[in-house]
Amino acid sequence: MAWSAASIYQAAFKKLFGLSHTEVKDFPLGNEGNPSQLTIISKDVYTDSIPTEAAEVADQIVACTNSTDAQENSYLTVVADDTLAPNGAGEGIPYLIKVPASHGLIGEINPLTGAAYEQGDVVQSIIPKKFGTTWRPILYDATKTEIPPLSSLDWFMDERGFVIIRDNSSVPTYLKCWVYVGKTVDNKVTGVSCSRITVSADAPANPTTGDLWVDI
């Protein structure tokens, strides 16, 4: 069974408005309350650099790459959530990506909410493949066998912590990934004010307080 045409159209339409596609039946645009990163706000813009190769970075990136459960860097858990959206034939089954017990994410700050992650929270800052192939999130079933991107389950993931699959003949249970916990524009830039802006090739080394010089 393939995705229904209506579900595909609805997913694409919601993306244009910066929304995820988690309410999978016949719910229209106005019913979807979960944002996607197509809409860029200050909390979405990373100010710490992302390395070319996937790696954990203290206070910036947490690895979730250990196949052994209950470790600080264990895979994240993937849990079906019918309260998020009801299931429907050809319309997808919703799952949430959550923080497991004893994980290193616990206590780290969720850049989207500003609150510390706790066990069972939805992980909302997964680093996507667009930063390089080594960053690719990998979905696994209960036996920790990969569910590949081209699987017949026709699944897709939003880095806000949602997974939608076409059917659950192979139930997604774990996600290997890296999670960003560093600074964003929202908490990096705390405020800029000035009384005068001067564009000059001779900006002083120590301008007067309240002056903003743009050196050219």
pLDDT digits (tens, 9 = 90+) for 124-178: 999 998 899 999 999 999 999 999 988 888 788 888 888 877 766 788 999 999 9
How far apart are the C-alpha atoms of 173 and 175, rounded to whole Å? Answer: 7
Q: For 122, phi and psi rounded to 5 degrees?
A: -75, 130
* pLDDT value of residue 41: 67
* pLDDT value of residue 159: 86
Give the burial string for 49-72 (b: 16+ CB within 10 Å, else e): ebeeebeebeebbbbbbeeeeeee
Q: Which amino acid is at 176?
A: K
Residue ranges of the chain with per-residue pLDDT less than 50: 216
How far apart are the C-alpha atoms of 84 and 169, rounded to whole Å? Answer: 20
Reading phi first (left if > 0) and then psi (alpha if -120 to 50, else beta), residue 133 is in alpha
* pLDDT value of residue 21: 67
How far apart are the C-alpha atoms of 64 and 174, rounded to whole Å? Answer: 10
Torsion angle defined by CA atoms of residues 25, 28, 29 and 32, in that order, rounded to the nearest 10 degrees: -50
Report the 3 state secondary structure along the chain. Answer: CCCCHHHHHHHHHHHHCCECCCCCCCCCHHHCCCECCCCCCHHHCECCCCCCCCCCECCCEEEECECCCCCCCECEEEEECCCCCCCECCCEEEEEEECCCCCCCCCCECCCCCCECCCCCECCCECCHHHCHHHCCEEEECCCCECCCCCCCCCEEECCCEEEECCCCCCEEEEEEEEECCCEHHHHCCCCCCCEEEEECCCCCCCCCCEEEEEC
* pLDDT value of residue 147: 93
